[in-house]
Amino acid sequence: MPGAADSHGLTLRQDYFGDPAAWAGLVALLQDTFGIDVGIQDRFGGPDPTSMPFGYFDGSGACVANFSAFSMPLMIEGRRVKAAGFQSGAVRPEWRGRGLYRDLMRRAFGWCDTQGFELALLLTDKPALYQPYGFKVLPQYQFSGPPPAHAGLAGSSRALLLDDPDDLALVMRVLRERTAVSSAFSVAAQAEMFLLNSHFDPDIRLAHLEQSGAIIAWRSGEAAFQLLDVAGRTIPPLSVILAALDQRPGRIEVCFPPDRLGWQGTPEPFVSYTSLMVRGDAADRLTGPVMLSPMAEF
C-alpha cells in the first residue's frame, strides 16, 4: 500500500520495537508530544511484546508520526474477549495536517481486523478523530458507598516499591498470574500499563496482602479510599482488603465494577478529560455500568 508520506521522503515502519534506535525515536516523539517518558519501560522488561507500532521516520531516523496497537484481553460479562488497545498516537507539529495520522489509523485498524480481535479500545481527549472509524464513547462509572463491616482476621499487608528489585519482580509475577478483578468488565492479562501507571502517579500505593498474596493498587484521598485494582490469583473481599491495609475510611470509591468484592457501591458518572471509546460487538454484551481500572489506562 503506498504511504501518504511517500512524497514527503518519509519511511513507513511497522513492528519496529526490535530496533533500539527506532524505539528511542518513538520515546522521543511521545516525550515531545505528551511530556511523558515511556523509555522507563526498559526498567520494567521493555515495551509490551504484543505491540504492533506503525510509524513514519524521516531521513535522520527521527520518528515523526506513530500509532500503535497492542493486545489487551478483557473479561466481559464472564467471557474472555480478544481485545486490542490503541495508543501512542502522535504526529510532530510540523508534519500535522497532511494525512499522516489518517494513514496510520487506517493501517492500525486494518491490521486489527485481520488479526481477529473482537473488540478495539482507546482512550482519547479527541473522540471526533475516531468516530469515522466506528468507535463509540463508552460512558464510565465509578462505584461509591460506605465501607463494608470491618473484617476480623484479615492478616497484614506490606507496602511495595517498584524501585526495589524484589518488589518489582513480585509485582510482575503476580500480574502474570492474576485473575480478572471483575467478571463484568476488566483486563484479563496485561502488565505493562499497570507498571507504567504506578510509576507515573506518585499517589498510587501498592500493597501485598500476606494472606491471599494479592496486590492492591489504591489511593487515599481526604474524601474517600480509592480502590484502583486488585491483582491476584483470587480476589479478596473488600472488607478483608481494608482490614489488611489497616484502613477505616468513611467512604469508598471503587474504580472497576465491584462484582467480585462482596460489596456493592452506587455507580456515579466518572468525570475525566479522556473518553473510553470502543468498537466491536463484544461491547454490546455489557449489561451494567463499567469502568476501566486506572491501572489499565493507556
Ligand X SMILES: CC(C)(COP(=O)(O)OP(=O)(O)OC[C@H]1O[C@@H](n2cnc3c(N)ncnc32)[C@H](O)[C@@H]1OP(=O)(O)O)[C@@H](O)C(=O)NCCC(=O)NCCS
Q: Name the residue type at position 46.
A: G
Distance between CA atoms of residues 242 and 254, nearest Å: 12
**83-91: strand order across its sheet:** 11-14, 52-57, 63-71, 83-91, 119-124, 275-279, 136-137
Nearest approach in angstroms of CB 189 to ligand X is 24
Nearest approach in angstroms of CB 86 to ligand X is 8
Nearest approach in angstroms of CB 129 to ligand X is 4
Distance between CA atoms of residues 271 and 292, nearest Å: 13
Q: Name the residue type at position 247.
A: Q
**74-76: strand order across its sheet:** 79-81, 74-76, 185-187
Nearest approach in angstroms of CB 222 to ligand X is 32
* Closest to ligand X by CB, 100 or 214: 100
* Closest to ligand X by CB, 33 or 179: 33
* Closest to ligand X by CB, 124 or 186: 124
**Interior angle at CA 190, CA 184 and CA 177, nearest 5:** 85
Give 205's strand partners.
218
Give 186's strand partners.
75
For strand 119-124 and strand 83-91, is the pairing parallel, antiparallel, or unpaired?
parallel
* Closest to ligand X by CB, 20 or 132: 132
Distance between CA atoms of residues 113 and 106, nearest Å: 10
Nearest approach in angstroms of CB 104 to ligand X is 8
Torsion of CA 274, 279, 281, 287, to 10 degrees: 10
* Closest to ligand X by CB, 33 or 272: 33
Binding positions for ligand X, rule: CB under 6 A: 33, 89-91, 96-102, 124, 126, 128-129
Nearest approach in angstroms of CB 261 to ligand X is 31
* Closest to ligand X by CB, 128 or 149: 128
Nearest approach in angstroms of CB 51 to ligand X is 16
Which residues, at least 6 apart from 130, have a Cβ–Cβ distance to it below 8 Å?
105, 122, 124, 277
* Closest to ligand X by CB, 128 or 271: 128
